[in-house]
Amino acid sequence: MPKIENGSMEAHMTSDERPALPNRQTPFSAAFRAFIPDGWQDYPTTGFELLAAAERTPARRGLLSARFPGERLVLPAGGLRTRSNDCDYRFRPHTAFAYYTGLGTDREPDAVLLLDPAGDGHAARLYFRPRAPRTDEEFYADSRYGEMWVGQRESLAEMAALTGVECRPADDLAADLAAGDVPLRVVPGADDAVSAQVAAIRADRGTDPATAATADEDLGVFVSESRLVKDAYEIAELEAACADTAVGFEAVVRELPAAVANGRGERWVEGVFGLHARHRGNAVGYDTIAAAGDHACTLHWIRNDGDIRPGELILMDAGVERDSLYTADITRTLPVTGRFSPAQRRVYDAVLEAADAAMAVVRPGTRYGDVHEAAIAVIARHLEEWGILPVPAAQSLDTETGGHHRRWMVHGTSHHLGLDVHDCAQARRENYRDGLLAPGMVVTVEPGLYFKATDLLVPAEYRGIGVRIEDDVLVTEEGPVILSHHLPRTADEVEDWMGRLLDTGA
């Protein structure tokens, strides 16, 4: 489930580009400037060990180096984005930067990883804004970098210890980017300011803009496709994210009576899950969908402002993102009072059958697109049996003459999962949708059926019912491994699980 990006110009303005607010600025006296640096403890000198994620990055950078020999590769973390006026969104580094540095959580706005040709490979250098000494005005007066505003930042040596990469001040980046006549590639879309720096250097050298754009796109594709197969550390992080997410789902079920009683229950559900996501991990991996009743038929319902009513279903699509930024992505559709009605169970069982059919083909050598085809074959058959499809299922499944079933399941059944909820999204079609599944890939399996309350082609008993079941699945030689196994899947299991939780939560 992708995040919805704010498209306004102001929302994409960096804090450096914001207009000054002189009406809120209070000058610092000479006495204050002399006083403020005194009486502080020394900074700690221990506790800066190599991050677990950073242990894997030399090998990853080695593959990147081999793919682009002799070229200077620029991987920005990105900058802060304005939410409103002088308030920023919480920072999350660009995925490629996180993958090749091992930095997660909110590290490190405006940083850049540079791979510079050296010998037969590349030397890695990390450029960032280290903390300023307490004698510097930045310490107390800079709301973007100052320690009194945003907390203690690492020194160059401390960041080098965390990442295993040589670190330099961000102010050195411009000169190092332009040094020598070395071809440049920058990950596209990561940081507009850094991309503009690279573009200016290329313009001075007379580089053709179209050629440069193709070079950057090739880099973007490579860093995306490199994540298709996960290593043991990544799989363990995704397993932990699924376990954390299950705790959040359990808390939501216990709180369903309060969500019903308090009104605007979708917000209550979103808040309960968000609490556990922030407590157990870094945050939610994407905006939580807490869709009750007919809202479940809106695929990306993130407004979450509706009531939750007894007798209805609530579709919850949510995932905890770990501090490493690996995220779960799980959907369960739950009867609000703990019991499915006959019509709800009928739809639920059809979706589960589709999920099981899709899961059965998640194995090495299967074409990725076959997972979806296995699911929709079941969906179309049930729609025909219920008298909803206007054509036979076989005709609906024909890509040239059919597609009618997509009215009730318009989305795909799977996507890759990892650092991004829709991971590896820049991969080429031949390596993604038309590619073959391989051991170590992690994909979702998430069929659904969505019968809007206003859909007159649907029997009345089904209108307003939306069901999706989504699991995170590891591809192995022995067959699919459900990483999200902590949560029940069958209707009977859901009812038994909810019954226990609602009893203990009363």
On whether both 236 and 183 belong to a single domain, the answer is: no
**Domain for residue 86, yes or no?**
yes
**Domain for residue 487, yes or no?**
yes
- Dihedral (CA of 257, 262, 266, 271) sign: negative
- Name the residue range of residue 280's domain: 232-505
Q: SS3 of 459, please?
A: coil
Residue 86 confidence (pLDDT): 85
On whether both 203 and 274 belong to a single domain, the answer is: no
Query: What is the rounded CA–CA span in Å between residue 296 and residue 279?
Result: 27
Candidates 359, 360, 468; CA nearest to 408 is: 468
Identify the segments of the chain with pLDDT beneath 50: 2-18, 505-506
CA atoms within a 13 Å half-sphere pointing along the CA-CB vector of 348: 24
Candidates 443, 444, 446; CA nearest to 409 is: 446
pLDDT digits (tens, 9 = 90+) for 198-245: 999 999 999 999 999 999 999 999 999 999 999 999 999 999 999 999
127 forms bridges with which residues in the sheet? 112, 168
CA distances from 151 to 111, 154, 488 (A): 17, 10, 41
On whether both 108 and 181 belong to a single domain, the answer is: yes
Query: What is the rounded CA–CA span in Å between residue 485 and residue 332?
Result: 12
On whether both 284 and 190 belong to a single domain, the answer is: no
Query: What is the rounded CA–CA span in Å between residue 382 and residue 368?
Result: 23
**Domain for residue 265, yes or no?**
yes
Q: Specify the CATH number for the domain of residue 129.
A: 3.40.350.10
The tokens 């960096």 sit on which residue? Answer: 14
On whether both 144 and 290 belong to a single domain, the answer is: no
Query: What is the rounded CA–CA span in Å between residue 354 and residue 411?
Result: 14
On whether both 198 and 255 belong to a single domain, the answer is: no
On whether both 191 and 285 belong to a single domain, the answer is: no
Of 225, 246, 262, which residue sits at a domain end?
225
116 forms bridges with which residues in the sheet? 123
Pairing of β 283-284 and β 320-321? antiparallel
Residue 24 confidence (pLDDT): 67
Of 174, 193, 225, which residue sits at a domain end?
225
**Domain for residue 1, yes or no?**
no
On whether both 165 and 236 belong to a single domain, the answer is: no
Residue 10 confidence (pLDDT): 29
The overall pTM is greater than 0.95:
no
Contacts of residue 130, defined as CB under 8 A and 6 or more positions apart, other chains included, come to: 153, 154, 155, 156, 159, 167, 169
State how many domains the chain has. 2
Residue 504 confidence (pLDDT): 62
Contact in structure between 379 and 408 (CB atoms under 8 Å): yes
292 Rama sector, left if φ>0, alpha if ψ -120 to 50, beta otherwise: beta
On whether both 200 and 301 belong to a single domain, the answer is: no
Of 201, 225, 249, which residue sits at a domain end?
225
Backbone angles phi, psi at 29, to 5 degrees: -75, 160
For the residues of 39-61, what is the DSSP string, one character each? S-PPPP-S--PPPTGGGGHHHHH
Q: Specify the CATH number for the domain of residue 431.
A: 3.90.230.10
On whether both 190 and 98 belong to a single domain, the answer is: yes
Amino acid at 46: T
**Domain for residue 115, yes or no?**
yes
**Domain for residue 35, yes or no?**
no
On whether both 176 and 285 belong to a single domain, the answer is: no
**Domain for residue 127, yes or no?**
yes
On whether both 214 and 237 belong to a single domain, the answer is: no
Contacts of residue 383, defined as CB under 8 A and 6 or more positions apart, other chains included, come to: 389, 393, 396, 405, 408
**Domain for residue 36, yes or no?**
no
DSSP H helical ranges for 102-165: 137-141, 147-150, 156-163
The tokens 């221990």 sit on which residue? Answer: 46
Query: What is the rounded CA–CA span in Å between residue 378 and residue 356?
Result: 10
Residue 21 confidence (pLDDT): 55
